[in-house]
Chain A
Amino acid sequence: MTVLKASNVSIFFGGLKAVSNFNLTLNEGELVGLIGPNGAGKTTAFNILTGVYVPNEGEILFNVGQKSDEKMINLVGLKPYQITKQGIARTFQNIRLFKDLTVLDNVRIAYHFNAKYNTLDALLRTPKFFKEEAVIKEKALQLLEIFNIHHKSNELAKNLPYGEQRKLEIARALATNPKLLLLDEPAAGMNPQETNDLMKLIQFIREQFKLTILLIEHDMNLVMGICERISVLDYGQIIAEGTPAEISKNPKVIKAYLGEELDTGA
């Protein structure tokens, strides 16, 4: 079943074609990697998928139906918060936690749009408010437990070590109850051991939460290790698609990453 289908998506910044004719299809439960040299347009593609940028051309269809029942809606033109409500959550390349709030509050904020009480209940402290608050807190703590940071739930997010901040950001994204999770360089700044743990974690949450995952990553170990399919972006265009083995042998990809040998004609 198709979860997301982006077809011929392009965006221009002035005369610069940041992403052009971007095509991507994600099937349910897949773990797909999006790679490419610096400045290839990977994060721009993410920003288009999550509504930060509105593409000039193309359409992005997202399946909001359950199981076998396909119901595609076009995401183009929706605001980021609306896209999140449809079931796409993301993390950021440069961690964007609510730094001065506690770990627990970071996750609870992501539960907000699923909270079943309104502002009036909050102002008047109705029984519904207390009941729902208890539910939110329990859910948030359960989620933190999966990431093994529940014992730090009352610490400020900025006081967590780097690796745990990355984990918290993923936990926060999961709290929005997504179908599709977009990870923007989840292993950036991690040492090999932490990267290994992260790989296991990504595999685990994918099965636990029945997620489809699209990730941008520069760490080839991670990408080749866990992705089932890889798309390669260069100068805003998809230049190759396939399994990790195919991609690592693809001459176009090698050229994009390493350049070409000069043909001296000798």
Chain B
Amino acid sequence: MKIMGENINMSNHLRKGIIIFAVAILIGAIISIGIYAGIIDEYTAHIITFGAINVIIALSLNLISGFTGQLALGHAGFMAVGAYTTAVLIMQYNVPLLIAIIIGGIVTAFFGLLIGFPTLRLRGDYLAIVTLGFGEIIRVTMVYLEKLTGGAAGLKGVPAFTTVIELRPTLSFVWVYCFLVIVIILISNLIKSSPGRAIISVREDEIASNAMGINVFYYKMLAFVLSAFIAGIGGGLYAPFYRYLNPTSFNFMKSIDFIIIVVLGGMGSITGTIISGFVVTYLQEFLRFLEDFRLVIYALVLILMMLFRPTGLMGNKEFSITNLFAKIKNLLPPKDVTKEGADQ
């Protein structure tokens, strides 16, 4: 009973935070124990971890394209910058993994700043064109910077998350999962705040948002740099996970993959991106037997989606754990009242 009383006194916000935290740990623990105990085989674990990396990068793309309304076509480029920076830092400068990943994110954010500064002042499709060019420039640069990146042959032997082979699938997942949870929390915190509303207002109507005292350029930059940072982190996680980096794996089609995830999940929905990120990653593996024909399946799925649900899987709606708890609570009979009644 004492615990109950304290619970009621606890602020609503704190309780919500604890519920989200508990659910996140629970999901993470179940999957990692499953992987460790061999219930989830190594191949599936690989897909889940890879899916989580894709979700991180797709979320970063959703931040700029879905929430801010600025189409970006070069997120594979950002991913590449993060991945190569992290790999080079670990391999040549012996930087600890966590720090290398974060520096990778910061370097990528710097590139975001560089691209965003001239292009985000303009309205329309300029950002799309410039980011598209940027992605290709990065890819070609990686081919020519042979000393650092291994050139066209690729960068081999990036150290994995752990040297213990038996623990590798589990620890890879735990690393990526922790970052995924942090990214989800940060983005949803941002979106449900005043700066987040400012960002969304830019998508809705730039002129009106300007007239409401919102520095449109600043908030576009904020969203874009943050987006680049997160994409860089995603790339930084990809390097020790995949352990081999090749410029061709960061081509334009890779950027399109992220756009497909965002569009299928719903522009402006975090939950939509998470679901479609895992589904698309699984489909990529599942449809491997079709070889090049799987691209036809993507196109088909996209066309069907545009016909029957043009807003994407979730539209701009979100699925909320705390709301779910509230609903379940409402469904259950009010226990305490009946108990007290019985006592009397």
Contact = CB atoms under 8 A, between A and B. Distances in A.
A122 B212 contact: no
B316 interface: yes
B22 to A, nearest CB: 16
Given A85-B213, A112-B213, A123-B190, A96 B205 contact: yes
Interface in B173-206: 186, 189-190, 193-198, 200-201, 204-205
A122 B214 contact: no
Nearest to B204: A98
Nearest to A182: B211
A202 interface: no
Interface stretch (A4-12, A125-133, A222-230, A250-258): A125-133
A99 B196 contact: no
Contacts of B210: 79-81, 84
Contacts of B17: 125
A79 B210 CA distance: 8
B207 A96 contact: yes
B47 interface: no
A109 B316 contact: no
B13 interface: yes
Contact of B189 (A89, A99, A125): A125
B211 A122 contact: no
B167 interface: no
Contacts of A42: none
Contacts of A129: 193
B205 A113 contact: no
B193 A108 contact: no
A113 B213 CA distance: 6
Contacts of A81: 210-216
Contacts of B190: 119, 122-123
B218 to A, nearest CB: 9
Nearest to B215: A81
A111 B11 CA distance: 25
A176 B207 contact: no
B213 A130 contact: no
B208 interface: yes
B222 interface: yes
A112 B189 contact: no
Interface in A57-95: 79-81, 84-85, 89-90, 92
Contacts of A52: 207
B248 interface: no
Contact of A112 (B13, B194, B205, B211): B194
Nearest to B212: A110
A105 interface: yes
A119 B208 contact: no
Contact of B201 (A101, A118, A130): A101
Contact of B186 (A80, A92, A117, A123): A123
B119 interface: no
Nearest to A130: B13
B211 A123 contact: no
A100 interface: yes
A84 B213 contact: yes
A119 B213 contact: no
Nearest to B192: A122
A206 B211 CA distance: 20
B209 interface: yes
A80 B200 contact: no
A112 B198 contact: yes
Given A50-B211, A98-B204, A99-B204, A109 B197 contact: yes
Contact of A90 (B211, B216, B316): B211
A122 B213 contact: no
A215 interface: no
Given A79-B210, A100-B316, A112 B195 contact: yes
A97 B204 CA distance: 8
A109 B201 contact: yes
A176 B205 CA distance: 17
Nearest to B268: A100
A84 B211 contact: yes
A166 interface: no
Contacts of A122: 189-190, 193-196
B195 to A, nearest CB: 5
B213 A110 contact: yes
A50 B326 CA distance: 46
A108 B209 CA distance: 12
A80 B211 contact: yes
Interface string B61-87: 000000000000000000000000000
B230 to A, nearest CB: 12
A124 interface: yes
A109 B216 CA distance: 12
B13 A108 contact: no
| 9 closest Cβ pairs, A-B complex | A122-B193, A84-B213, A98-B204, A96-B208, A113-B213, A115-B194, A80-B210, A110-B212, A109-B201
8 contacts: A96-B208, A100-B204, A101-B197, A101-B201, A109-B214, A110-B212, A113-B212, A122-B193
Given A98-B201, A130-B13, 20 more contacts: A79-B215, A81-B216, A96-B208, A98-B209, A101-B201, A105-B197, A105-B200, A109-B209, A109-B214, A111-B194, A112-B198, A112-B213, A118-B195, A123-B186, A123-B193, A125-B13, A125-B189, A130-B11, A132-B194, A176-B212
